[in-house]
Amino acid sequence: MADDMASRYQMMEELGSGSFGTVYKAIDKANGEIVAIKHIDLESSEDDIQEIQQEISVLATCASAFVTQYKASFLKGHKLWIVMEYLGGGSCLDLLKPGVFNEAHVSIVCQQLLQGLDYLHSEGKIHRDVKAANVLLSNTGKVKLADFGVAAQLVNIKSQRNTFVGTPFWMAPEVIQQAGYDFKADIWSLGITAIEMINGEPPHASTHPMKVLFLIPKNPAPRLEGPEYSSTFKDFIAQCLTKDPERRPSAKELLKHKFIRNAGKTEALQELIQRKQEWDGCRGISKDVKYYAETLKSISKPSVEDEDEWVFDTVKAPTMRTPSKNPSMWVPNGTDWTTLDEDDESPDPSQLMEDMHISQLPKPPKHQANSTVRRTSGFERSPSIRRANTKRRSSGVKQPLGLDLSFGNSPSTVRQFRRVSDRVPSEAVPPRSSHGLDENTSPKVITGDSTSKEAQLGRRAYSKAIGMSCQEVLSTTGDGEKREAISRLAEAWSDLEMVDPEGLYHIIRVMNERLQADSRLSALQPDSPSRPRLVLAQNNPHLKSHRRRQSTTEPPPQSPLSNLPGQQVSGMEHTKQLSDVLYQRWAEGLRNRWGF
Amino acid sequence: MAFFFNRGRSRSPADVVRSTKDLLLRAQETPSTPKADEELAKQLGQMKVIVQGTQDQHLPEQVYALIQATLQEDLLYDLSRSIHLLPFEARKDTQTIFSHILRFRPSSYAPDKDPPVISYIVHHRPEILVELCRGYSHSQSAMPCGVILREALKFDVVTAVVLYDQSHEGEPAGRLSDLKPNAPQNGEGVFWKFFEWIDKGNFEVSADAFTTFREILTRHKSIVTAYLASNFELFFGRFNNILVQSNSYVTKRQSIKLLGEILLDRANYNVMMAYVERGENLKLCMKLLRDDRKMVQYEGFHVFKVFVANPNKSVAVQRILINNRDRLLRFLPKFLEDRTDDDQFTDEKSFLVRQIELLPKEPVDRSRPSRDAQSGVNTAAVA
């Protein structure tokens, strides 16, 4: 039955992906409608499937023109497919890439968002993660709230939540303080989003998100300042960013605000979409389109040697699904147990044909002159945090919820799907801040100076070692999830090689040094290469960034596997820190509540 | 002076209930028209506003009047069986109305007493609960019915009614006072339908039905323990066959996890002991360890460990483990070995390896003398 559902859709290109799965564009064959389908691999999700179901039930009970419409969900093998309305205009965060919005645009978006929030709030739902990245536009400029990864359903209209979810920069003070919060938390986030749209980034964007968690409750609420903004706009922001949630107006009240009442028509937002398209066009961004291809299940099937099957008594058993009063009848005999649950994900040839990457084309530079966010190294728009229980009980009795707030690829934390254009593969690239100058120059220049010795070595390292090792490991890895991770890493390396071979070289070099510096890891290495050491210029940005990282965290000695470059270079140590702090905060909250 | 300010919608709660009832009865008989739907949605919307109150006003006496009228007109019953006929928003409103009415306690009510409507339903109108369960037969009503049911299942009396009902469609359901806790079930009551809804329903229905099923089985332990003891064969027969071996990944994984939770619950000690002495159950678990999906293997491990850790293993269980000792000792060290950060799992795994190493060469019957004959029969049947 599930397969029937899946075959209803003609899968098309990938729209975006997160640690949690991938979103594809698809066509509903029944009516030709374009939809977005989120594929969630449940095998990679350790947390309770029930939480995902919860998310679906929140989605399924929403029907509003201001909220992305849920259509259906079903299982295909161990993947959950969630069919949603397709919105072609992209997210507000995408649309901010060419430049900030003007006041008129912001007021339209806010007006639409307020209607969406008013709907959700009247339904007893809190979104909990309002930010530009979660605001989607249709091609015609319609504005819709998306991503209910962390939305909560309140049972009682007056009840409050105590969970700590959201994304630091956009979080309301009462959420951070875990004082118990309600709908008003979304209004704060809306105010932050308005600032984000007019400034290109939320307040404190250049601060480490960990620190932001302390700043938001401590500092006075952010304000919009400067003569270039109208006083009604400033007042709107001030209203949204009222620290006391009691005094913060509701969505309904804000809809009567002058700034909102004077908002124009949504069609005006088409300008933003057009601007983005032109901007993409100018930058030669022909999307690196990835098509959906069904995975070959056979790879992950364990090779079962017959001799290793369990030996059970050879009782003749009828088919195993026949209910029977006699318990000994339930058991299939030893030979047919492998036939359980055939997923039969055999590839559809037509789809495989479509699986052609346009990778022959020179890849566009992924570093975008992005005036929107000054990011701290590697920390790219912190993914939403959500509570999740990770470690399971051993005794079956539920222990107090464990928490895994580690970011990145941990499946349980992030339920956010970045849109492709936002998914800058620079995640595996040295901090972008170090490219400050290069970014604003034309793409040619980036590669133009990469003829240095380091760059050549970097290219060589890639072609001789990295690419092949990735291939090699990939070919010996059966598990689908791992394969995906490895190929992502390989892709990241390849991007890096193209954009910054010099940086690649330095990563390898530093990695090598560190491996050798560690007494246990160095044993793994073959004879240390007695290459002459290159002396680096003191102002080498890569060196600096490495120093900076080294000074912030001393990576703990780990197994060589978990110390692979992907981790080192991505700057994930920051998020690790953040997660530690969040964990502590959470644990404290828990202790208070449980009276430990 | 509420009536004065509410001129626009000044109808009394009783009026609203009555017109809702009329519209519902009509909807059950004739195919819906947009106009009838709209009218019904309007009435339910009004009821919702009354029970829920608004941000600034909440009138308990209005709610009380509404509840009285609801019981008088037997509206909850009609609502419970026609949720699938209602339009989208009206279904959600019905869910809200139901939940509020079930929870309602007059201020004079002792807090440890069940809310009045709950008591009324289990003693006089258990059909409402049965109809709510049957909401899983329609995908439109599955989720709202599920939410209402789980609200009601917070009370043990409701759990008892749902577990013990044996009525057929159209028959009166069992009142709380008629229930016979120790009589074995015929497996046709509404609780047993959950296996079907979970197994056959589409994903949304199946997942919600499972959530409710889980709630029934884990919330009120003493009722469930007694129930499982008197219906052991029937229950685990279906559980093993329909749920653990389901073709749906989610059902399979969730039910193995639930199985572990049920078995490892202290209250269910006797149930656990009975479960882990069956060789058949062990075989099922060992097959889960070899499933080709990691999380199924992992969930299976947490049931498998109970068999091995049990100090008084039955002869049947010992025999299977002994026959597979070498295979298990080869298999376990490599089993899910990438879970390196899961210390507990690693510890448990090495504990199991140790236990298997320590198994005697031949099964030893260490069970109590009175059990001897019984397990002997089991083993004979298996061999």
Residue B163 has pLDDT above 90, yes or no: yes
Residues 213-272 of B with CB under 8 A from A: 233, 237-238, 240-242, 245, 247-250, 252-254, 260-266
**Position B71 in a domain:** yes
Number of domains comprising chain A:
3
**Contact assignment for A331 to B249 by CB distance below 8 Å:** no
**Position B280 in a domain:** no
For tokens 């190493």, name the residue: B357
Q: What is the pLDDT of residues A551-561, one digit of tens each?
A: 444 444 444 44
**Position A591 in a domain:** no
**Position B66 in a domain:** yes
For B37-77, the DSSP string reads HHHHHHHHHHHHHHHH--SS---HHHHHHHHHHHHHHTHHH
Residue A223 has pLDDT above 90, yes or no: yes
**Position A415 in a domain:** no
CATH code, A24: 3.30.200.20
Determine the Cα–Cα distance for residues A215 and B126; give it in Å rounded to an integer. Answer: 55
Q: From residue B153, how far is each of A20, A410, A546, B39, B135 by CA, in Å?
A: 33, 34, 57, 31, 15
Q: Does A283 touch chain B (CB under 8 A)?
A: no
Instruction: Over range B216-225, report the average pLDDT.
Output: 94
Q: Looking at residue B268, what is its pLDDT?
A: 93
What is the β-pairing status of strands A418-419 and A135-137? Answer: unpaired
**Position B196 in a domain:** no
Q: From residue B64, how far is each of A161, B141, B155 by CA, in Å?
A: 28, 27, 21
Residue A207 has pLDDT above 60, yes or no: yes
User: What is the distance of C-alpha A434 from the center of its chain?
Assistant: 23
Determine the Cα–Cα distance for residues A179 and B167; give it in Å rounded to an integer. Answer: 48
- Compare A85 and A568 and report the one with higher pLDDT: A85
**CB neighbour class for B325 (10 Å; exposed up to 12, middle 13-18, buried from 19):** middle
pLDDT band, very low/low/confident/very high, at A377 (cuts 50, 70, 90): very low
User: What is the distance of C-alpha A54 from the center of its chain?
Assistant: 19
Indicate the SS3 state at residue A507: helix
pLDDT band, very low/low/confident/very high, at A505 (cuts 50, 70, 90): confident
Spell out which residues of chain B touch residue A5, defining contact as CB-CB under 8 Å.
202
For A323-352, the DSSP string reads --SSGGGSPPPTTSGGGSS----PPPHHHH
**Position B348 in a domain:** yes
**Contact assignment for A325 to B233 by CB distance below 8 Å:** yes
Interface test with B, best of A120, A341, A395, A559 (most B CBs within 10 A): A341
CB-facing half-sphere around the CA of A163: CA atoms within 13 A: 22
Residue of A nearest to B298 (CA): A46
Q: Structure pTM? A: 0.68
**Contact assignment for B327 to A397 by CB distance below 8 Å:** no
Nearest CB to B92 within list A61, A337, A396: A61
Nearest CB to B348 within list A61, A394, A396: A394
**Position B68 in a domain:** yes
**Contact assignment for B249 to A75 by CB distance below 8 Å:** yes
Is A75 in the same domain as A146? no
Q: Give the dihedral sign, CA A565/A571/A572/A574.
A: positive
The boundaries of the domain holding residue B360 are 309-383
Indicate the SS3 state at residue A475: helix
Whether B167 and B186 have beta carbons less than 8 Å apart is answered as no
The conformation of residue B308, written as its DSSP 8-state character, comes to H
Whether B299 and B255 have beta carbons less than 8 Å apart is answered as no
Q: Does A298 touch chain B (CB under 8 A)?
A: no
Residues 159-188 of B with CB under 8 A from A: none
The H or E element that residue B82 is part of is helix B75-82
Residue A564 has pLDDT above 70, yes or no: no
Is A48 in the same domain as A125? no
Q: Does A252 touch chain B (CB under 8 A)?
A: no
Number of domains comprising chain B:
2
Is A120 in the same domain as A69? no
Residue A364 has pLDDT above 50, yes or no: no
**Position A395 in a domain:** no
- Compare A280 and A587 and report the one with higher pLDDT: A280
**Position A307 in a domain:** no
Q: Looking at residue B177, what is its pLDDT?
A: 84
Residue A108 has pLDDT above 90, yes or no: yes
Determine the Cα–Cα distance for residues A15 and B245; give it in Å rounded to an integer. Answer: 35
Q: Looking at residue B55, what is its pLDDT?
A: 62
Q: Looking at residue A146, what is its pLDDT?
A: 84
Is A52 in the same domain as A103? no
pLDDT band, very low/low/confident/very high, at A161 (cuts 50, 70, 90): low
Q: From residue B357, how far is each of A309, B314, B349, B362 by CA, in Å?
A: 19, 17, 12, 13
Q: Does A2 touch chain B (CB under 8 A)?
A: yes
**CB neighbour class for A159 (10 Å; exposed up to 12, middle 13-18, buried from 19):** exposed
pLDDT band, very low/low/confident/very high, at A41 (cuts 50, 70, 90): confident
The H or E element that residue A418 is part of is strand A418-419
Structure-token pair, residue A411? 């499946």
Is A48 in the same domain as A122? no
**Contact assignment for A312 to B283 by CB distance below 8 Å:** yes
Catalytic residue among A129, A288, A404, A438: A129
Q: What is the pLDDT of residues A280-315, one digit of tens each?
A: 888 766 556 677 766 544 444 444 444 568 888 654
* CA nearest neighbour of B165 among B207, B196, B198, B193: B193
Q: Looking at residue A344, what is its pLDDT?
A: 42
For B197-251, the DSSP string reads HHHHS-HHHHHHHHHHHHHHHHSSHHHHHHHHHHTHHHHHHHIIIIIIT-SSHHH
Is A126 in the same domain as A226? yes
Determine the Cα–Cα distance for residues A100 and A98; give it in Å rounded to an integer. Answer: 7
Nearest CB to B382 within list A2, A53, A328: A328
Q: Looking at residue A432, what is its pLDDT?
A: 40
**Position A390 in a domain:** no
For A136-182, the DSSP string reads EE-TT--EEE---TT-EE-SSTT--B----B-GGG--HHHHTTS-B-
Interface test with B, best of A79, A155, A313, A321 (most B CBs within 10 A): A313
User: Which residues have CB under 8 Å from A595's CB, separation 6+?
Assistant: none
Is A343 labeled as catalytic in the residue annotation?
no
**Position B244 in a domain:** no
What does residue A12 show for φ and ψ, rounded to 5 degrees? -125, -145
Q: What is the pLDDT of residues B68-91, one digit of tens each?
A: 999 999 999 999 999 999 999 999
**Position A232 in a domain:** yes
Spell out which residues of chain A touch residue B202, defining contact as CB-CB under 8 Å.
1, 5, 74
Q: Does A154 touch chain B (CB under 8 A)?
A: no
Residue of B nearest to A121 (CA): B55
**Position B118 in a domain:** no
Spell out which residues of chain B touch residue A341, defining contact as CB-CB under 8 Å.
247, 249, 252, 291
**CB neighbour class for A584 (10 Å; exposed up to 12, middle 13-18, buried from 19):** exposed
Q: What is the pLDDT of residues A467-492, one digit of tens each?
A: 777 777 776 666 777 777 877 887 78
Is A176 in the same domain as A264? yes
Q: Does A159 touch chain B (CB under 8 A)?
A: no
**Contact assignment for B293 to A43 by CB distance below 8 Å:** yes
For A526-548, the DSSP string reads -S---PPPPPPPTT-HHHHHHHH
Spell out which residues of chain A touch residue B250, defining contact as CB-CB under 8 Å.
42, 49, 75, 80
Q: Does B56 touch chain A (CB under 8 A)?
A: no
Residues 481-540 of A with CB under 8 A from B: none
**Contact assignment for B264 to A300 by CB distance below 8 Å:** no
Instruction: Over range B149-160, report the average pLDDT.
Output: 95
pLDDT band, very low/low/confident/very high, at A571 (cuts 50, 70, 90): very low
Question: What value, to the nearest 5°, has the Cα angle with vertex A501 and ends A497 and A504?
Answer: 85
**Contact assignment for A559 to B53 by CB distance below 8 Å:** no
CATH code, A123: 1.10.510.10
Is A162 in the same domain as A278? yes
**Position A467 in a domain:** yes
Q: What is the pLDDT of residues A429-463, one digit of tens each?
A: 344 433 433 433 333 334 444 567 777 787 777 77
Nearest CB to B264 within list A56, A340, A395: A395
Instruction: Over range B110-130, report the average pLDDT.
Output: 91
Q: What is the pLDDT of residues B299-348, one digit of tens each?
A: 999 999 999 999 889 999 999 999 999 999 999 999 998 888 888 999 99
Distance from CA of A65 to the nearest CA of B (A): 14
Indicate the SS3 state at residue A256: coil
End-of-domain residue from the set A67, A85, A103:
A85
Residue of B nearest to A481 (CA): B294
Q: Looking at residue A443, what is its pLDDT?
A: 38
Instruction: Over range A4-10, report the average pLDDT.
Output: 87
Which of A2-11, A416-425, B279-288, B338-347 tops mean pLDDT?
A: B279-288
Spell out which residues of chain A touch residue B245, defining contact as CB-CB under 8 Å.
320-321, 340
End-of-domain residue from the set A85, A100, A127:
A85
**Position A155 in a domain:** yes
Q: From residue B117, how far is each of A20, A215, B76, B155 by CA, in Å?
A: 43, 49, 10, 11
User: Which residues have CB under 8 Å from A163's CB, separation 6+?
Assistant: A152, A387
**Contact assignment for A397 to B280 by CB distance below 8 Å:** no
**Contact assignment for B237 to A325 by CB distance below 8 Å:** yes
Determine the Cα–Cα distance for residues B193 and A208; give it in Å rounded to an integer. Answer: 54
The boundaries of the domain holding residue A49 are 2-85
End-of-domain residue from the set A282, A299, A334:
A282
**Contact assignment for B342 to A391 by CB distance below 8 Å:** yes
Spell out which residues of chain B touch residue A250, defining contact as CB-CB under 8 Å.
55
Residue of B nearest to A45 (CA): B295
Q: Does A374 touch chain B (CB under 8 A)?
A: no
Q: Looking at residue A288, what is its pLDDT?
A: 61
End-of-domain residue from the set B85, B105, B125:
B105
Whole-number average pLDDT of chain B: 88
Is A77 in the same domain as A171? no
Indicate the SS3 state at residue B277: coil
Is A68 in the same domain as A106? no
End-of-domain residue from the set B89, B105, B121:
B105
Instruction: Over range A498-502, report the average pLDDT.
Output: 80
